[in-house]
Amino acid sequence: MGRDDASKSRLSRQLRGPDRTWSDARLIRHCLNGDDRAWAALIEKYKNLIYSIPLKYGATPEDAADIFQSVCVELLSELPRLRKRASFRSWLITVTAHQAFQWKRKTRRRAEEELTPIEEERLETDPSPDLVEQVQREQVMREAIAELSPRCREMITLLFFHEPQLPYRDVARQLGLAVGSIGFIRGRCLKRLQRMLEGRGF
Structural domain of residue 187, as residue ranges? 148-202
Q: Name residue 189's amino acid.
A: C
- Which has the higher per-residue pLDDT, 13 or 140? 140
Identify whether residues 98 and 176 lie together within a single domain.
Answer: no
Q: Confirm whether 81 is domain-assigned.
A: yes
Identify whether residues 92 and 180 lie together within a single domain.
Answer: no
Q: Confirm whether 143 is domain-assigned.
A: no
Q: Report the domain count for the chain.
A: 2
Q: Confirm whether 159 is domain-assigned.
A: yes
Instruction: Identify the CATH number of the domain in which residue 169 sits.
Output: 1.10.10
Identify whether residues 97 and 153 lie together within a single domain.
Answer: no
pTM above threshold 0.85: no
- d(Cα 27, Cα 42) in Å, to the nearest integer? 6
The pLDDT of residue 1: 46
Q: Confirm whether 162 is domain-assigned.
A: yes
Q: Confirm whether 186 is domain-assigned.
A: yes
The pLDDT of 108-127, averaged and rounded, is: 59
Identify whether residues 32 and 73 lie together within a single domain.
Answer: yes
What values do phi and psi take at 6, rounded to 5? -65, -40
Q: Give tens-digit pLDDT for 135-183.
A: 989 999 999 999 999 999 999 999 998 888 899 999 999 999 999 999 9
- d(Cα 201, Cα 138) in Å, to the nearest integer? 13
Virtual CA dihedral for 20, 21, 26, 31, nearest 10 degrees?
A: -10
Q: What are the distances in angstroms from CA 110 to CA 54, 107, 164? A: 18, 5, 35
Identify whether residues 44 and 78 lie together within a single domain.
Answer: yes
Q: Confirm whether 120 is domain-assigned.
A: yes
Q: Give tens-digit pLDDT for 66-82.
A: 999 999 999 999 999 88
Instruction: Identify the CATH number of the domain in which residue 60 sits.
Output: 1.10.1740.10
Identify whether residues 96 and 55 lie together within a single domain.
Answer: yes
Which of the listed residues 77, 98, 127 is the one where a domain comes to its end?
127
Identify whether residues 90 and 185 lie together within a single domain.
Answer: no
Beta carbons of 190 and 157 less than 8 angstroms apart: no
